[in-house]
Structure 1
Amino acid sequence: MKVDLLIIGAGPAGMAAALAAAPSGARIAVIDDNPAPGGQIWRDGPLAHLPEKARTLRQALMEADNVQVFSGTRVVALAGAKRLLVEDAERGWTLTYDKLILCIGARELLLPFPGWTLPGVTGAGGLQALIKGGLPVTGERIVIAGSGPLLLASAATARNAGASVLRVAEQASLTTLAGFSARLLRWPGKAMQAMGLLDVGYRPSSHVLAALGRERLEAVRLQQGTKVVEIPCDCLACGFGLIPNTQLGELLGCRVEQQAIAVDDWQACSLDDHFAAGECTGFGGSELALVEGAIAGHAAVGNRDLARALWPQRRHWQGFADALAHSFALDPKLKSLAQADTLVCRCEDVPFAELANRCNWNDAKLHNRCGMGACQGRVCGAAGQFLFGWTPPSPRPPLSPARIDTLRCLEAEGAPMVDR
């Protein structure tokens, strides 16, 4: 298959990019591994309540004759110059493009602490996704901990689904949060949204110490200011912020700076004809993702005047992103959560003690198989960067589990089947 413009990811940035580029008449393909456009923030499901903005964008995408959306589809590997190997539930095929926009989003930063592998412990965003997908939580006692606005959003989702949210533990201090709240006046809509999400169980200067239980989670131990408290609960959801997904960009050869794909004023990457937008270029919320996606879409089809006209909006929302990053920066004391026997690499059962004396990621991998499991270092790689300052592992194809028949497409293209 050959297209003029390929967009990877159908979250806010991806949808905005496709709709901005569509009037040019270019042949556009959008691929996304979710069942429907919307990304993680507008994830669909039996218990999801999509905002009007999400429904409007999704409808416009369906009505664009020159835009083809491939849902439930993921990138497996590179298949040559400007050619990707992709796969859905039924088949694998190669997709060739003239220009590409990466809108591959971000994922949660998960940090290890005693008991974090117990059944009943999830990520904060993971809990939200599970509930939207139909997980029953009515009557469940839930504690949410970590850092950032996602904690309050997850708490609201759980509460609306019938759960009892006992505590929202935010590691940022009250002074820092007060300063952030004052700065929110620049973005009245965000201020109103924050007011609507406030939770009576919200506690600043609080963080998880341990998840307690034998066969599954029974309680959580929290550091709350100067006190240590234990709260019986059925579910603990922890998220310590978001980190950009950069793997595909790195594999393509795009420059990465400060853990995000580096872009210029046009959202162009360091690689010619490649652009990036949304949270893979840095976390800033859906508003920033929408305007970055629109800039990238216009620029990719040569409409630079329309792209430039959106720069003031981007500056406005970039200010909000900067305020988020400053206010919810992680306290170094979180590096001491893991104990000697706390697993850091869950896939390969590698505890903290076996990593503490290693000098870098490759050293840890060679001695302990760290990062060689199912997640391929996506979880422990980010944790290792925070805990030890290690550079995360470089991505290697296949980027996700794939069928043998799909990998054989590479053989037909003359490309190596896997990176050796």
Structure 2
Amino acid sequence: MKHASFDVLVIGAGPAGLAAASSASQGGASIALVDDNPAPGGQIWRADHTKQPGIQAHSWLLKSKNERITHYMRSRVIGAFEPGKLLVETPDGSLELCYKKLILATGARERFLPFPGWTLPGIMGVGGLQALVKGGLPIAGKRVVIAGSGPLLLAVAVYLKHQGARVSLIAEQTSWSNLARFALHLPRHTSYLWQAAGFARELAGVPLKTSCWVTRALGEQRLEAVVLQYGKRSLILDCDYLACGFGLAPNVELAAALNCERQEGLAHVNEWQETSQPGVYCAGEVTGIGGLELSLLEGQIAGLAATERFEEARQLFTRCIRARAFATLQTKYFALRPELRTLADARTIVCRCEDVTYGELEQHTSWRSAKLQTRCGMGPCQGRVCGAATDFLFGWTQDAIRPPLASARVASLASMQDTHSKEISR
């Protein structure tokens, strides 16, 4: 198996990872940047086949293209067996990456909440639909309902509208009063105020209902209509696509595998973004869902701290505190309402990989029990979808992270087994 060594290894090439790698490289360190996507940028800066990246995205992508940074795209970490080393699967085979400092910028995934019919073709996360359209999925003229919670719904609605979609409704589950209270804070955060004003202008004429959420999807072979709860009434809307966004779940699996301390499901870090494991840093949504600005700031701080440029990192603290304060407001005013826990009936599938229903799961009292008895979380996604759902539905936490950390080729698993056996023999 091939080996490579670097001063700083950055996992994740979204905004936080790009900022971390770029900042660390400015100090002369050798950097490796690993991501399982074909190109850097993450979900938010995912390449759009119809246009060039924006000014901010282009700037950070350009900064990451220097001789000190080695890119490993279409690559994923599948094991961590000893300090200072990670086993990575690349398109060319398995690779052991050695590092002095490690920065985890593993981002987050969409949180799916099950309701009857949610597995029908045509239903996906808001980010998932946006990614497919960026990749070439024809959406012009299609009827789209966007439902869930948070400003991301508006951002995706604007994008889909620009691509020719007919956005029938934006269903926001939080109340109008919460939305109004959130809006009152926007003048203190100028960039977000202008962004909100832009959304309002772009979405003029698109219905937005608060205290509104999907309760059921209708259709035989694919989605045909959705049923929504709006106050005390039920609405039925015909549609071609339903994009749901119930917030994001941080990708903490690698941090957990490295025994980094977690609090409330998030990687716990100090002011330098360093975890409980010396030399291991976390930045971006793995430390909490905070948006683009916070991810960039945390990435820069982690990259600077990992290369011992503490005074430069300290200069970013004030901006970081402000960005975290805004993230806290979003968490408060867009918190998921308890009614969403009652959407699934006994026959509703919760674990799509293993076809495990809500009725089967409610007989158990923990993730471990459900996993052992029903195989929930043992499919290809390794609990990344149903784990976040059962956390919200039942308050369960995934209590064990075992390699491989992601689905892998047989040859990679053989390399992993060989590496693990050598480590045990020592």
- With normalisation by structure 2, the TM-score equals 0.95
Question: Which of residues 68, 71, 74 in structure 2 aligns to 1:69?
Answer: 71
Aligned partners of 1:366, 1:47: CA distance in 2, in Å?
46
Question: Which of residues 327, 350, 354 in structure 2 aligns to 1:348?
Answer: 354
Aligned partners of 1:244, 1:289: CA distance in 2, in Å?
13
Asked whether the equivalents of residues 140 and 165 of structure 2 are also in contact (C-alpha less than 8 Å), the reply is yes
The aligned counterpart of 2:269 is 263
Mapping of residues 220-235 of structure 1, within 5 Å: 220-235=226-241
Mapping of residues 3-402 of structure 1, within 5 Å: 3-47=6-50, 50-62=53-65, 64-198=66-200, 199=203, 200-402=206-408
The change in CA–CA distance for 1:367 and 1:407 in structure 2 (over 3 A counts) is closer
Asked whether the equivalents of residues 130 and 160 of structure 2 are also in contact (C-alpha less than 8 Å), the reply is yes
Aligned partners of 2:354, 2:412: CA distance in 1, in Å?
27
3-state SS of the aligned residue for 2:385? helix
Asked whether the equivalents of residues 104 and 255 of structure 2 are also in contact (C-alpha less than 8 Å), the reply is yes
Residue 404 of structure 1, CA deviation: 2.1
**Residues 79-114 of structure 1: CA distance to partner in whole angstroms, max 9, x if unpaired?**
422111111222211101010000000111100001
Runs ≥4 in structure 1, deviation > 6 angstroms? none
Identity percentage of aligned residues = 48
Aligned partners of 2:148, 2:75: CA distance in 1, in Å?
31
**Residues 243-269 of structure 1: CA distance to partner in whole angstroms, max 9, x if unpaired?**
111000000110111111100000000
Asked whether the equivalents of residues 82 and 423 of structure 2 are also in contact (C-alpha less than 8 Å), the reply is no
Aligned partners of 1:79, 1:268: CA distance in 2, in Å?
20
Aligned partners of 1:308, 1:38: CA distance in 2, in Å?
26
The change in CA–CA distance for 1:77 and 1:48 in structure 2 (over 3 A counts) is farther
The change in CA–CA distance for 1:48 and 1:377 in structure 2 (over 3 A counts) is farther
Residue 226 of structure 1, CA deviation: 2.4
3-state SS of the aligned residue for 2:39? coil
- With normalisation by structure 1, the TM-score equals 0.96
Asked whether the equivalents of residues 368 and 398 of structure 2 are also in contact (C-alpha less than 8 Å), the reply is no
Residue 411 of structure 1, CA deviation: 4.6
**CA RMSD in angstroms, aligned pairs only:** 1.5
Asked whether the equivalents of residues 408 and 417 of structure 1 are also in contact (C-alpha less than 8 Å), the reply is no
What is the aligned residue count? Answer: 417
The amino acid of 1:142's aligned partner reads V
Asked whether the equivalents of residues 5 and 98 of structure 2 are also in contact (C-alpha less than 8 Å), the reply is yes
The amino acid of 2:79's aligned partner reads A
**Residues 379-405 of structure 1: CA distance to partner in whole angstroms, max 9, x if unpaired?**
111111111111125222111121222
Asked whether the equivalents of residues 142 and 233 of structure 1 are also in contact (C-alpha less than 8 Å), the reply is yes
Aligned partners of 1:176, 1:104: CA distance in 2, in Å?
30
Residue 163 of structure 1, CA deviation: 0.8
3-state SS of the aligned residue for 1:40? coil
Q: Please, which runs of 5 or more residues in structure 1 have no aligned partner?
A: none
3-state SS of the aligned residue for 2:245? strand
Asked whether the equivalents of residues 263 and 275 of structure 1 are also in contact (C-alpha less than 8 Å), the reply is yes
The amino acid of 2:215's aligned partner reads L
Aligned partners of 1:366, 1:17: CA distance in 2, in Å?
39
3-state SS of the aligned residue for 1:236? strand
Aligned partners of 1:356, 1:54: CA distance in 2, in Å?
44
Aligned partners of 2:264, 2:357: CA distance in 1, in Å?
27
**Residues 41-72 of structure 1: CA distance to partner in whole angstroms, max 9, x if unpaired?**
1111313652211111111211x221111111
3-state SS of the aligned residue for 1:190? helix
Aligned partners of 2:35, 2:193: CA distance in 1, in Å?
31
The change in CA–CA distance for 1:48 and 1:211 in structure 2 (over 3 A counts) is farther
Asked whether the equivalents of residues 123 and 223 of structure 2 are also in contact (C-alpha less than 8 Å), the reply is yes
Aligned partners of 2:48, 2:90: CA distance in 1, in Å?
19
The change in CA–CA distance for 1:397 and 1:48 in structure 2 (over 3 A counts) is farther
Asked whether the equivalents of residues 17 and 294 of structure 1 are also in contact (C-alpha less than 8 Å), the reply is yes
3-state SS of the aligned residue for 2:70? strand
**Residues 169-199 of structure 1: CA distance to partner in whole angstroms, max 9, x if unpaired?**
0000000000101101111111111121233
Asked whether the equivalents of residues 119 and 215 of structure 1 are also in contact (C-alpha less than 8 Å), the reply is yes
The amino acid of 1:211's aligned partner reads A
Asked whether the equivalents of residues 221 and 230 of structure 1 are also in contact (C-alpha less than 8 Å), the reply is yes
Asked whether the equivalents of residues 170 and 208 of structure 2 are also in contact (C-alpha less than 8 Å), the reply is yes
